[in-house]
Amino acid sequence: MQSFKPQQRSLGGLYGSLIGDALGVPVEFKPRADRVRDPVTGMRDYGTHGQPAGTWSDDGALLLCSVESLIEKGFDTQDMGKRFVRWYAKGLWTAHGTIFDIGIATRKALRLIEEGCPAELAGGQDQYDNGNGSLMRILPVALAGLSLDENVFCDQIERASAITHGHERSKMACVFHGMLTRGLMAGLSVQDTLDQTRRDFGRRYQDSPEISAFRDLLHADIATWHESEILSGGYVMETLTASVWCLLTTQSFSECVLKAVNLGDDTDTTGCVAGGLAGLLYGMDGIPAEWMAKLCRSKDLETLFVRFNQQFITHET
């Protein structure tokens, strides 16, 4: 494994999430067969949502709202939820001041918060509420909590998920992602990170009725799966599994994130989650400069992420 400073891994993860999201936005909802005929190889203009190249979606915006909340208020789910509402109502941390995409579960939860519901009770708790809308934004919560005791670390991730997705499966998926984040930030290889996550996650949730949903992530040799076995819709387990598969079967940031986006369907979120993990693995310098140059609001992002790193990411992380 190549050695990077923790700050470079953190920046890689944050920027990588936005890059993956922006690569996926123009082809969101398009089937995999379209990507076979016309694979994404770089930043595209317009497409599904008619947005300029380098535009992130709700995924990136809610991730950025989370970063800002953590910087200004520490871990405060009520503040985080209110910022999500400001995104929905006023375009906070959108790329161009307008919203062009929002998940059904997220919209419902934010409306409840607007009406006075406590943020941690707003997320749906039905088995059909297990979309990927909390997984896509959870990375900053994990990064900010790396120095915490494991119980607190996992509890905060679960509580942050519950703002929009309160079912046990969604919360556990976010914790699985958080444990991957912890391993990659420590400089472990992808396989060692997955092995450590499997041990820690399996021990923590061994008595949960939802553990069966994680059977493949915990036991299968995912790296040997054919692309046809990888699903890429909006279900949280599909997004998490696809992102891990992309990380295991590629050798660079660009290869990983393009593989994720070219799975088709929920391209922005698969790209966002896979891009975040790949950014942690390969560091800031592993992201192609031409993609970084296309990303919107570069000065605002730099200011925000430097503040985040200064506050939460130490040399010893």
Q: Are 63 and 136 in contact (CB under 8 A)?
A: yes
**Residue 284 gets which letter from DSSP?**
G
- Is the pLDDT confidence value at 173 over 80? yes
The verdict on whether residue 269 carries a ligand-binding annotation is yes
Give which of 179, 304, 232 is closest to 20, Cα–Cα: 232
Do the annotations mark residue 48 as ligand-binding? no
- Is the whole-model pTM more than 0.95? yes
Q: Is the pLDDT of residue 158 over 90?
A: yes
User: What is the token pair recorded at 250?
Assistant: 């590629």
pLDDT at residue number 3: 73
Mean pLDDT of 154-179: 98
Burial class (CB in 10 A: 0-12, 13-18, 19+), 1: exposed
**How high is the pLDDT of residue 4?**
81
pLDDT attached to residue 47: 87
Which of 176, 260, 264, 165 lies closest to 217, judged by CA? 176
- What are the sequence ranges of the domains in the chain? 6-312
Q: Does the annotation list 58 as a binding residue?
A: yes
**Does 57 carry a binding-site annotation?**
yes
Give pLDDT, residue 2.
60
Mean pLDDT, rounded, for 58-81: 98
**Is residue 73's pLDDT more than 60?**
yes
Nearest in space to 16 (alpha carbons), one of 289, 306, 276, 313: 276
**Rg of the chain over CA atoms, in angstroms?**
17
Is residue 270 a known part of a binding site?
no
- Asked whether 245 and 226 are in contact (CB, 8 A), the reply is no
Pair 273, 243: CB distance under 8 Å:
yes
pLDDT digits (tens, 9 = 90+) for 74-117: 999 999 999 999 999 999 999 999 899 888 999 999 999 999 99
| Cα–Cα distance for residue pair 187/197, rounded to 1 Å | 14
Q: Is the pLDDT of residue 288 over 90?
A: yes
Average the pLDDT over 237-260 and give the result: 98
- At 316 the pLDDT is 56
Judge contact between 239 and 232, C-beta under 8 A.
yes
pLDDT score for 315 = 60
39 in helix, strand or coil? coil
Question: pLDDT tens-digit profile of 220-237?
Answer: 999 999 999 999 999 999
Residue 101: per-residue pLDDT: 84
Mean pLDDT of the chain: 96
C-beta of residue 259 within 8 angstroms of C-beta of residue 250: yes
Domain covering 6-312, topology:
ADP-ribosylglycohydrolase fold (1.10.4080)
